[in-house]
Amino acid sequence: MRTPVRLERRLEQPRWLNWAIPVISLVTALVLGAIVLWLTGKNPLEVYDRILERGFLGKRPLQGTLITATPFAFTGLCAAVAFRMGVINIGGEGQFYVGAIGAAWVGIAMTGQPVGVAVVAMVVMGMLFGAAYGSIVGVLKARFNTNEIITSLMLNYIAGILLNYLIFNSRSYWRDPRSMGFPSGKSIAERNEWTDYVIGGVKIPLGFLIAVIAAGAIWVLYKRTRFGFEVGVIADSPRAARYAGIRTRSTIVLVMALSGALAGLGGASDVGDFRHILDAKGLQLGGFGYTGIVVAALARFNPFSTLLVAFLLGGLTNAGYALQGPDFPSGLVGTIQGLILFTAVAGEILVRYRIRPNRRRAQAVAS
Amino acid sequence: MNTNLLVVITASAVFYGTPLFFAALGGVFTERSGVLNLGVEGTMLIGAVTGAWASQHVGGSAWFTVLISILMGMAAGALTSLLHAFLCITLRTNQTVAGLAITIAAGGVGLSSYFANIWEVAANPVDRPIRKLDVLGLGDMPVLGPIVFNQTILTYVSWVMVAVASWYLFRTKIGLQLRAVGESPQTADAMGINVVKYRYLHTVLGGSLAGLGGVFYSLAIVPLWVDGMTKGAGWIAIALVIFGFWRPGLTLVGAYLFGALQSLGTALKARNVNISGDVLDALPFFMTIVVLVLISSRFAHRRLGAPASLGVPYEREER
């Protein structure tokens, strides 16, 4: 059986692929999404037009998009940092929850301190909690060689149950004792709420700015330091890394801690920037961790592209919230995100292969 | 703990373990061919929503409706995994990420929820669920009755399947060739085995079994459509493949163990045992981690049964 095209291995990887592949992937995903919409009796152009309008055009949509993009930026960085070393951390979701728990704790507890101190404390606690939760996966992988995909995923479910326990099924410190009918979280002190910065008439959440700084720091760490170099060697060949004397085990734990810290930072921003409480239900409905994997994959694990892709997917999701209704069923945004992940994965094939028309036999006959 | 409680837990372990077993057996077939499918959770949900839809829309006798619902759920699962097979086998993409893509695209907030919405599956009850049978009128028999004679038809199917699958994998020529493909596709190819065909067929077979597991959720366990209703069962199934050392029989044992953990909460609560429901909810996930640690640490080097080429794309031109 002969296929019309065949794959030919690339000997070198041209630079233009770095931006061409994500663009091709995104466009293909939108085309596939259009087919799904068309098959299910919707007008794809109309739906996309409304997503564009409600997600990106104008100050209000942009503001909403930045709010949705902020958690995606953190979970995207979380996934990118780990995937870069070949550690598949899909625990961003749980690490995000746990970071939110840590940040909400100090946010509620600190009442009299200067504003700056409280914000820093929330950031640090979010990162510490996220890092600790991420290290569990790292230690299990480094010490017992367990599959990090399954352990990190199981920890997501456990973190979700922990959230439910803290807010709904206990009288914990995080729960508002006055909320009797429908339990909710206790508000953090009002002065500890994170401020927005207005640039060009658009309010930018502090969390998004922190994500930009974090992306810069990761870029420096991975491109300019010995640690980053070692991570690169482990990614290419763990065995070579061991022979070169790199301590692969502790590097795995460190990378997982860093990855978890980034997701935990996202959780801190969720509490400080947006919700101001530990919102057990809202956190679990967001699915931020899983979207972060899509973000990182499409960004090809580059920290700055991660921010850009987070913004794009933030717009899609934001429009999805705004439009949800009979014309725009729930599940549509998740489907499009999944399609983007598919095409981003499939697009990676262009890095390794060239697609050539299959004419081998014809040539053989001619010669 | 009195014997009665033990019987109740064992009976529901078999009930709750059945869908885990189907999905895990699918994983055994898929992984034996060298393909890693992390899309089981998403595949199960697609199967579940399709089965629920069919059960609401297919007319005829109750048995006919159930049969068609099961078959349609399996077909939907097969189609979902066909996508995975295309990505991994033909396009040779990263199998881990491709599987994650399936779970994200089809999962609780993705395509399965979208289908449920536009087909209005959630709005309507499932009128014709898969019921527990009273085999030979022995359902009331002490001890064995609830465990053996009062299960759904699919549980009995799964018992037949365990025998057939073991025979297929370890006693037939095709099974031998399948294992060869998973161990060393190069060698298998040199022997004249069509690696691509074996991998496609068994990935799709695995997907249809995951779909069957999903149908069990929407038609027997709940029975109603709820977004993301499998609640991580697909991931537990993936762990069960490892737990069962890629063997059908051991996988069934593992599935019942986890089925018992899942049913523990309801069984204990009915008896006013004072244990937090959250602890019981977390137990299956926690135990999955514990089991993985135990298996990985002791046998990591001996690699009990893991196909050597699991997760590695096969490229003919490369040696």
SS (H, E, C) chain A: CCCCEEEEECCCCCCCHHHHHHHHHHHHHHHHHHHHHHHCCCCHHHHHHHHHHHHCCCHHHHHHHHHHHHHHHHHHHHHHHHHCCCCCCCCHHHHHHHHHHHHHHHHHHCCCCCHHHHHHHHHHHHHHHHHHHHHHHHHHHHHHCCCHHHHHHHHHHHHHHHHHHHHCCCCCCCECCCCCCCCCECCCCHHHCCCEEEECCEEEEHHHHHHHHHHHHHHHHHHHCHHHHHHHHHHHCHHHHHHCCCCHHHHHHHHHHHHHHHHHHHHHHHHHHHHCCCCHHHHHHHCHHHHHHHHHHHCCCCHHHHHHHHHHHHHHHHHHHHHCECCECCCHHHHHHHHHHHHHHHHCHHHHEEEEECCHHHHHHHC
Q: Using a CB–CB cutoff of 8 Å, tell me whether A328 touches chain B.
A: no
CB contact under 8 A, A331 and B285: no
Strand partners, A204: A197
Strand partners, B152: B132
CB contact under 8 A, A294 and B106: no
pLDDT tens by residue, A167-192: 988 888 999 888 777 888 889 988 88
Q: Are B49 and B122 in contact (CB under 8 A)?
A: no
Whether the ipTM is more than 0.90: the answer is no
Nearest to B38 among A9, A149, A348 (CB): A149
Distances (CA, A) of B255 to A298, A359, B16, B101: 36, 50, 8, 25
* CA distance, residue B139 to nearest chain A CA (Å): 36
Q: Are B214 and B48 in contact (CB under 8 A)?
A: yes
Q: Using a CB–CB cutoff of 8 Å, tell me whether A88 touches chain B.
A: yes
SS3 B240: helix
CB contact under 8 A, A337 and B105: yes
pLDDT of residue A367: 42
Q: What confidence category does residue B304 fall into, taking pLDDT thresholds of 50, 70 and 90?
A: low
* CA distance, residue B114 to nearest chain A CA (Å): 4
Nearest to A140 among B87, B242, B293 (CB): B293
φ and ψ at B238, to 5 degrees?
Answer: -65, -40
- What is the DSSP-derived secondary structure letter of residue B131? P
Residue A359 buriedness (CB in 10 A; 0-12 / 13-18 / 19+): exposed
Residue B58 buriedness (CB in 10 A; 0-12 / 13-18 / 19+): middle
Residue A122 buriedness (CB in 10 A; 0-12 / 13-18 / 19+): buried
Q: Are A316 and A51 in contact (CB under 8 A)?
A: yes
Substitution target from A150, A152, A155, A323 for chain B, most B beta carbons within 10 A: A150
pLDDT of residue A365: 46
Q: Which of B117, B50, B228, B48 is nearest to A320 (CA)?
A: B117
pLDDT of residue B297: 64
Residues of B in contact with A144 (CB under 8 A): 293, 296-297, 300
Nearest to A345 among B93, B117, B285 (CB): B93
Q: Which of B162, B171, B151, B132 is nearest to B252 (CA)?
A: B162
Which residue did the predictor score with more confidence, B307 or B170? B170
Report how far residue A154's alpha carbon sits from residue A191's, in angstroms, rounded to the nearest whole number: 36
Give the side-chain half-sphere CA count within 13 A for A238.
Answer: 10
Distances (CA, A) of A342 to A309, A334, B303: 15, 12, 31
φ and ψ at B223, to 5 degrees?
Answer: -85, 110
Q: Are B112 and B127 in contact (CB under 8 A)?
A: no
pLDDT tens by residue, B20-61: 999 999 999 999 999 999 999 999 999 999 999 999 998 888
φ and ψ at A204, to 5 degrees?
Answer: -110, 120
Nearest to B100 among A155, A162, A293 (CB): A293
Substitution target from B103, B109, B226, B314 for chain A, most A beta carbons within 10 A: B109
pTM for this model (two decimals): 0.90
CB contact under 8 A, B105 and A339: yes
Angle of the B195-216 helix axis to the B3-32 helix axis, nearest 10: 150
Q: Which two tokens stand for residue A93?
A: 């979701």
Report how far residue A200's alpha carbon sits from residue A63's, in angstroms, rounded to the nearest whole number: 11
SS3 B152: strand
pLDDT tens by residue, B264-296: 877 777 776 767 778 888 888 999 899 888 887
Nearest to B118 among A155, A287, A329 (CB): A329
Searching chain B, which residue's CA lies closest to the CA of residue A317? B109
Report how far residue A106's alpha carbon sits from residue B139's, in angstroms, rounded to the nearest whole number: 57
pLDDT of residue B301: 46
pLDDT of residue B267: 75
Q: Are B249 and B166 in contact (CB under 8 A)?
A: yes
φ and ψ at B34, to 5 degrees?
Answer: 95, 10
Q: Are B42 and B112 in contact (CB under 8 A)?
A: yes
Report how far residue B258's alpha carbon sits from residue B265's, in angstroms, rounded to the nearest whole number: 12
pLDDT of residue B303: 57
Residues of A in contact with B114 (CB under 8 A): 40, 329-332, 334-335
- Cβ contacts below 8 Å, chain A against chain B, sum to 148
* CA distance, residue B235 to nearest chain A CA (Å): 7
Nearest to B104 among A40, A149, A341 (CB): A341
Residues of B in contact with A348 (CB under 8 A): 93-94
pLDDT of residue B142: 78
Q: Please give chain A's pLDDT, 367 residues, in tens.
A: 556 677 777 777 778 887 888 888 889 999 998 998 888 888 899 889 988 999 899 888 999 999 999 999 999 999 999 999 989 999 999 999 999 999 999 999 998 888 889 999 999 999 999 999 999 999 999 998 888 988 999 999 999 999 999 998 888 899 988 877 788 888 998 888 998 888 888 889 999 999 999 999 999 999 999 999 999 999 988 889 989 889 999 999 999 999 999 999 999 999 999 999 999 989 998 889 988 998 998 898 999 999 999 999 999 989 888 887 777 777 788 888 888 888 888 887 777 777 777 765 544 444 4
Nearest to B281 among A143, A161, A331 (CB): A161
Distances (CA, A) of A12 to A15, A18, A235, A325: 10, 13, 19, 48
Q: Are B204 and B210 in contact (CB under 8 A)?
A: no
Report how far residue B185's alpha carbon sits from residue A325's, in angstroms, rounded to the nearest whole number: 49
C-alpha R_g of chain B: 20
CB contact under 8 A, B117 and A335: no
Q: What confidence category does residue B319 fall into, taking pLDDT thresholds of 50, 70 and 90?
A: very low
Give the side-chain half-sphere CA count within 13 A for B111.
Answer: 28
Interface of A with B in 127-146 (CB under 8 A): 140, 143-146
Which residues have CB under 8 Å from A305's CB, separation 6+? A22, A298, A299
Give the side-chain half-sphere CA count within 13 A for A93.
Answer: 29
Report how far residue B301's alpha carbon sits from residue A140's, in angstroms, rounded to the nearest whole number: 16
* CA distance, residue B277 to nearest chain A CA (Å): 9
* CA distance, residue A201 to nearest chain B CA (Å): 33
Give one DSSP letter per residue of B272-319, joined into a string: T----HHHHHHHHHHHHHHHHHHHHHHHTTT-SS--TTTTPPP-TT--
Nearest to B296 among A144, A149, A335 (CB): A144
Residue B26 buriedness (CB in 10 A; 0-12 / 13-18 / 19+): buried
Q: Are B10 and B147 in contact (CB under 8 A)?
A: yes
CB contact under 8 A, A331 and B289: no
Looking only at the bridges linking them, the beta strands covering A353-357 and A5-9 are antiparallel
B302 has a pLDDT exceeding 90: no
CB contact under 8 A, A331 and B292: no
SS3 B63: helix
Q: Are B313 and B95 in contact (CB under 8 A)?
A: yes
pLDDT tens by residue, A117-163: 999 999 999 999 999 999 999 999 999 888 898 899 999 999 999 99
Nearest to B96 among A88, A146, A346 (CB): A88
Over range B160-166, report the average pLDDT: 97
Report how far residue B44's alpha carbon sits from residue B207's, in angstroms, rounded to the nearest whole number: 8
Q: Are A340 and A298 in contact (CB under 8 A)?
A: yes
CB contact under 8 A, A157 and B293: no
pLDDT of residue B318: 53
CB contact under 8 A, A144 and B293: yes
**How far is the first Cα of chain B from the last one, in angstroms, to the nearest whole number?**
60
C-alpha R_g of chain A: 22
Q: Are B146 and B8 in contact (CB under 8 A)?
A: yes
